[in-house]
Structure 1
Amino acid sequence: MSDATVFRTGPLRFATAERFAPPRPVPGGGAAVPDGAICPQPPSRLDAVMGPPHDRRPQGEDCLHLTVTSPAAPVSETWNVGAAGNAREAGRPVLLWFHGGGFSSGAGILDWYDGGSLAAEQDVVVVSAGYRLGALGYLVLDGVSEGNLGLRDQLAALRWTRDNIARYGGDPGNITLVGQSAGAVSILLLMRMPEARGLFRRAVLQSAPLSLATRPRAEARETGRVFAAHLGGDPRTAPPADLLAVQARTAAEQQRRTGSFLVPPFGPVEGTDLLPGAGTPLTFDDGAPDVLYGWNADDMSAFPEGPRDTGGTAERTRRTYEAPLSALRAELERAGARVHGYRLDWRPPGSPYGATHCVEIPLLLGAADAWRDAPMLGRLDWAEVDAVGRGVREAWASFARTGDPGPLPAPLTALAR
């Protein structure tokens, strides 16, 4: 792919936020931040699988940044008629990416999530956005934070995309949310949020671990009290390094208490003014989105067994991904959504992890420099990875255009209803 075929713009600041406060939109569509920071965070627990990111970014709380990647060629159509009957300039389908990382690590502006190949090959616009993580994004503590600030950041990124993407050649009426792991869980929660209704048309859920989706407010408040007791000071003024140290201690205690190495200490909280309770039926009064969902055949090979999460990779993957996601499909279809399912069976030669968690990301996003020496890619050179990725990118782009990914190419397997 030639550098001249796409423009990658950003990082752009899409919102600002004081610590533990909701995000505020940036007037004028956002300003460029050449040395864009990422949310303060520990090293990823998946560094052994993915390798650490090669583009080292500064960490800071001014981190609500995104990138936009769009084809350099002009949009082929000039005008069409919008749903309201008014003429509007046509644009390309838009894919808005939310990264994974267990609500604890990652950033949308990392080179892993560069949409250059996807935009150039498939004539789409790719937006990749960050959000607040860990205690900064999800602490629940009376008088300090209501929680779910990371979700509010994602909602702000979605609104920014709707309001500004036309200037980058995108169609604000055809936005597909795409997310992996915690990013996929976030999209499911956006589907449940009244404030997000009507802001997107389609959703792609890649390896969403639904056990991470939400926690009861009472549980989150207790975790917040434990966190504050260990901190011994005011979370509103403590240095970020102190917050991260106490976050790690809180996570270790949670692992000992629950026996799970998968569930992070901080994440979305149910039963708030933003997010209905987990038992609330999924409904789409204004029209159900199209949904593409799936998992990787060996997703759980990336995570160590815990005392309460035993069994081989296949059984743990079935329990954590296949069974809950199959139940979600039935719920979505009852609510009127058109749903397509996939399983990725790609096992790169030389990788000890097989079709592991995150292995589909380089098939969709990023380029050779971003993914060099990734252990999960084994002995494959980038040309081989890219060749497999072309089919995946085509399927995801087809879904973004029409709501149907078309016949899925190997190593994707379509899931029957």
Structure 2
Amino acid sequence: MTGPAVVRSGPIRYAVAERFARPRPVHGHDTRPSSGEICPQPPSRLDAVMGAPLDRRPQGEDCLNLTVTTPARDTAARPVMVWLHGGGFSSGAGLMDWYDGGALATEGDVVVVAVNYRLGALGYLCLDGVAEGNLGLYDQLEALRWVNANIAAYGGDPADVTVFGQSAGALSIRLLMELPEAQGLFHRAILQSAPLAIATRSRAEAAALGRIFTERLAAHAPGVAPRTADPAAVLAAQRDTALAHRERSGSTLEPPFGPVETGGVFLDAQVRGMDIMYGWNADDMSAFPGEKSENGDPAEPTRRMYAEPLAALGRRLARAGARVHAYRLDWRPTGSAYGATHCLELPLLLGSRAAWQQCPMLGDTTWAEADELGRAMRATWTAFARTGRPGTVAPPFTCREIPAPQP
């Protein structure tokens, strides 16, 4: 929680973008106040698990905004932690109270940056002559450039940046590792419950979904082009495309709009020497009823969707010369039907009692109990951001180093 010990700045506009165009950095002569907007979006499909957000933010396309939470705007050159939220590339925002970095900043003496990026069709539509895809990813890249150029004024060290993200945010980090333009903009990374099995889709598949979106948009806004359609019509067409994609794929987990294959190869040189921690929650898949095994046990789909692909990534990163740690959270809150579910670590790391007070996945757990575990987990995250090592951990949280392969 943000208290008198920290300074929270923002929302701050870090870039601007025309619809379906790449972002452009905000220059010093642009002194307009931030809109405070978050990307237009439908309700989250995880509201039943997390609860609906209690804060209401204006939605609009001037949404490339971020916040900075720091112990002090001084010259201390603290480690910087940049947060990329999840939400299936269709919902969420760094500005939400859920993602207040006050506790991390206060307890770990770090600077926390929380980033908005474009979502759904506005961020990930792939359609010839209209949108190239991956615009939300390029928004994140622009936010990291903003951090590099500006964070020293907030007490942070631009040469000591850890990017951390959950679910779609963690997938984004995996893809940022492939972008040559991102090299040097972050030095450590934490990937929380990244569903790597659905990391990207082919450009051909993305273009096919783009054509479905165009057809559905024409039904909601006849004669109106995608670049000029009202955001409400865009969201309606996005919803219809999601339904069509579910029928085509049979998956209730894979979003209709998400990253497209970059066409590049895994850049060993980009991760060599980097500190990377990845992990998952033991019952991650309990959040997705349509994806459970026949007996309702989330263990097997969690293994298939998270544990095995993440372990393979860890081995690959270690071979490339990264220093790698893997974690797992086994905490099952009393009175919760979801166990150690997807998103459960979020209230342990970010936000406050007020932000999470109506959170179903916490069950009957008191905030004091959750915060005690959260304090330990925050210490692990900030220790990693500071040293590249998680320090001492204890159950229900486990962490181990992935050994580098022998030559």
2:210 aligns to what? 224
User: 1:416 Cα shift?
Assistant: 5.9
1:87 aligns to what? none
1:264 aligns to what? 255
User: 1:50 Cα shift?
Assistant: 0.4
Conserved? CA contact 2:83–2:113, under 8 Å: yes
Normalised to the residue count of structure 2, the TM-score between the two structures is 0.94
Conserved? CA contact 2:34–2:65, under 8 Å: no
Map Cα deviations across residues 163-200 of structure 1 (whole Å, 9 max, x no partner). Answer: 10000000000000000000000001001111101111
Conserved? CA contact 2:292–2:298, under 8 Å: no
Secondary structure (helix, strand or coil) at the match of 2:177 reads helix
Q: Which amino acid aligns with 2:154?
A: Y
Map Cα deviations across residues 139-167 of structure 1 (whole Å, 9 max, x no partner). Answer: 01111101110000000000000110000
Secondary structure (helix, strand or coil) at the match of 2:289 reads coil
The within-5 A match list for 1:11-410 is 11-28=11-28, 33=33, 36-72=36-72, 90-232=76-218, 233-270=224-261, 275-277=262-264, 280-284=265-269, 287-306=272-291, 312-410=297-395
User: How far apart are the structure 2 equivalents of 1:25 and 1:244?
Assistant: 26
Cα RMSD between the aligned structures?
Answer: 1.8
Q: Which amino acid aligns with 1:216?
A: S
The number of residues matched between the two structures is: 397
Secondary structure (helix, strand or coil) at the match of 1:156 reads helix
Q: Which amino acid aligns with 1:333?
A: A
Conserved? CA contact 2:292–2:301, under 8 Å: no
Normalised to the residue count of structure 1, the TM-score between the two structures is 0.92
Conserved? CA contact 1:282–1:332, under 8 Å: no
User: How far apart are the structure 2 equivalents of 1:308 and 1:406?
Assistant: 35
User: 1:288 Cα shift?
Assistant: 3.4
Q: Which amino acid aligns with 1:14?
A: Y
Secondary structure (helix, strand or coil) at the match of 2:269 reads coil
User: 1:3 Cα shift?
Assistant: 2.1
Conserved? CA contact 1:96–1:129, under 8 Å: yes
User: 1:287 Cα shift?
Assistant: 3.8
Q: Which amino acid aligns with 2:255?
A: P
Q: Which amino acid aligns with 1:97?
A: W
Conserved? CA contact 1:192–1:276, under 8 Å: no
Point out the more displaced range, 302-311 or 199-208: 302-311
User: 1:307 Cα shift?
Assistant: 9.5
User: How far apart are the structure 2 equivalents of 1:285 and 1:344?
Assistant: 28
Point out the more displaced range, 120-129 or 26-35: 26-35
2:405 aligns to what? none
User: How far apart are the structure 2 equivalents of 1:301 and 1:339?
Assistant: 27
User: 1:286 Cα shift?
Assistant: 7.6
Q: 1:66 to 1:264 in 2, by over 3 A?
A: same
User: How far apart are the structure 2 equivalents of 1:73 and 1:266?
Assistant: 38
Identity of aligned residues (%): 63
Q: Which amino acid aligns with 1:116?
A: G
Secondary structure (helix, strand or coil) at the match of 2:160 reads strand
Conserved? CA contact 1:92–1:169, under 8 Å: yes
Secondary structure (helix, strand or coil) at the match of 1:369 reads coil
Conserved? CA contact 1:137–1:150, under 8 Å: yes
Q: Which amino acid aligns with 2:370?
A: V
User: 1:385 Cα shift?
Assistant: 1.2
User: How far apart are the structure 2 equivalents of 1:309 and 1:151?
Assistant: 35
Q: Which amino acid aligns with 2:40?
A: P
User: How far apart are the structure 2 equivalents of 1:188 and 1:155?
Assistant: 12
Conserved? CA contact 1:137–1:149, under 8 Å: yes
User: How far apart are the structure 2 equivalents of 1:352 and 1:14?
Assistant: 40
Secondary structure (helix, strand or coil) at the match of 1:175 reads strand
Q: 1:14 to 1:159 in 2, by over 3 A?
A: same
- Unpaired segments of 5 or more residues in structure 2? 219-223, 403-407
Conserved? CA contact 1:351–1:378, under 8 Å: yes
User: 1:230 Cα shift?
Assistant: 1.5
User: 1:305 Cα shift?
Assistant: 2.2
Q: Which amino acid aligns with 1:5?
A: A
Q: Which amino acid aligns with 2:70?
A: S
Conserved? CA contact 1:70–1:168, under 8 Å: yes
Point out 4+ residue stretches in structure 1 off by more than 3 angstroms. 29-35, 72-75, 285-288, 306-311
User: How far apart are the structure 2 equivalents of 1:29 and 1:53?
Assistant: 35
User: 1:2 Cα shift?
Assistant: 7.4
User: 1:91 Cα shift?
Assistant: 0.3
Conserved? CA contact 1:309–1:316, under 8 Å: no
Q: 1:29 to 1:5 in 2, by over 3 A?
A: farther
